[in-house]
């Protein structure tokens, strides 16, 4: 996994609640056996008509761009498909800001260097308003300090200390788990697992 660097970027507002992973990447695009290329179908059915012409959707609106996606509460609910995190990352986003994240999506994002930043409902509303008022509004996300800010408006956000370490250094869980193999084997012996 790549190291997570400080992000300073304009942002894309998507103030819809309960955005599920079927919207982020519909099931019919999950047939690939590699991790690449899912960004092409990010929000497929919100972006494109069945004849592939563009719909009126924020990702088709050149007014907005950037590495930060700002979405309504309960982002990423539904299916556990990690393809959702891959698609968002592959499209070019490094951060998703919302006032609430679904558990599995949050974990998948963290495992792929995509930072979910959970802010208060009020902060989210102010951020969306600011981006809509001025699409050049820059959002700064400092993982080290756990601070998000725009136009001088700051909020602290939480991130698990272990996952923070992983993101900052580019470590994967798998490296750690493989490194404690002997302890896992000792557990198996002691607990007579079935």
Per CB under 8 A, the list member of 12, 97, 102, 131 interacting with other proteins is 102
Only one of the segments 11-19, 53-61, 129-137, 147-155 lies at the binding site for other proteins (rule: CB under 8 A); that segment is: 11-19
Between 133 and 152, CB nearer to other proteins: 133
Binding segment toward other proteins, per CB under 8 A, in 2-10, 89-97, 101-109, 141-149: 101-109
Task: Confirm if 13 and 70 have CB atoms less than 8 A apart.
Answer: yes
- Using the rule CB under 8 A, is 103 a contact of other proteins? yes
Pair 114, 141: CB distance under 8 Å: no
Q: How many CB atoms lie within 10 A of CB 134?
A: 12
Which span sits near other proteins by CB under 8 A: 61-69, 141-149, 150-158, 174-182?
A: 174-182
Question: How many other C-beta atoms can be found within 10 angstroms of the C-beta atom of residue 76?
Answer: 30
Beta strand ranges found along the chain (DSSP E): 7-9, 11-14, 68-71, 95-98, 115-118, 139-142, 147-150, 153-156
Q: Is 168 in the site for other proteins (CB under 8 A)?
A: no
Quote the least distance from Cβ 177 to other proteins, whole Å.
4
In the bound state with other proteins, the residue whose beta carbon lies nearer, of 50 and 152, is 50
How far apart, in whole angstroms, are the C-alpha atoms of residue 146 and residue 154?
Answer: 10
Pairing verdict, β 115-118 and 139-142: unpaired
| Nearest to other proteins of 6, 35 (CB atom) | 35
The dihedral sign for the CA sequence 15, 88, 133, 139: positive
149 contacts 125 by C-beta, under 8 angstroms? no
Chain positions 27 to 86 lying near other proteins, rule: CB under 8 A, are: 27-28, 30-35, 45, 50, 72-74, 77-83, 85
Q: Which residues make up the interface to other proteins (CB under 8 A)?
A: 15-18, 20, 22-23, 26-28, 30-35, 45, 50, 72-74, 77-83, 85, 100-104, 107-108, 111-112, 160-162, 172-174, 176-178, 180-181, 183-184, 187-188, 191, 193-194
């Amino acid at each position: 996994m790549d190291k997570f660097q400080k992000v300073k970027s304009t942002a894309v507002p998507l103030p819809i609640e309960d955005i599920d992973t079927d919207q982020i990447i519909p099931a019919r695009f999950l047939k690939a056996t590699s991790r690449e290329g899912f960004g092409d179908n990010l929000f497929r059915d919100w972006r494109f008509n069945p004849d592939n012409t563009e719909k009126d959707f924020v990702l088709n609106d050149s007014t907005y761009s950037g590495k930060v996606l700002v979405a309504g509460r309960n982002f990423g609910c539904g299916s556990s498909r990690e393809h959702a995190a891959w698609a968002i990352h592959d499209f070019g986003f490094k951060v998703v800001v919302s006032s609430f994240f679904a558990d599995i999506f949050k974990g998948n994002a963290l495992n792929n260097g995509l930072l979910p930043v959970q802010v208060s409902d009020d902060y989210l509303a102010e951020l969306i308003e600011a981006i809509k008022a001025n699409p050049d509004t820059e959002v700064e996300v400092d993982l080290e300090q756990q601070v998000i800010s725009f136009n001088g408006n700051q909020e602290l956000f939480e991130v698990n200390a272990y996952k923070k370490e992983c993101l900052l250094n580019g470590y994967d869980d798998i490296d750690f788990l493989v490194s404690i193999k002997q302890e896992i084997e000792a557990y198996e012996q002691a607990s007579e697992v079935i």
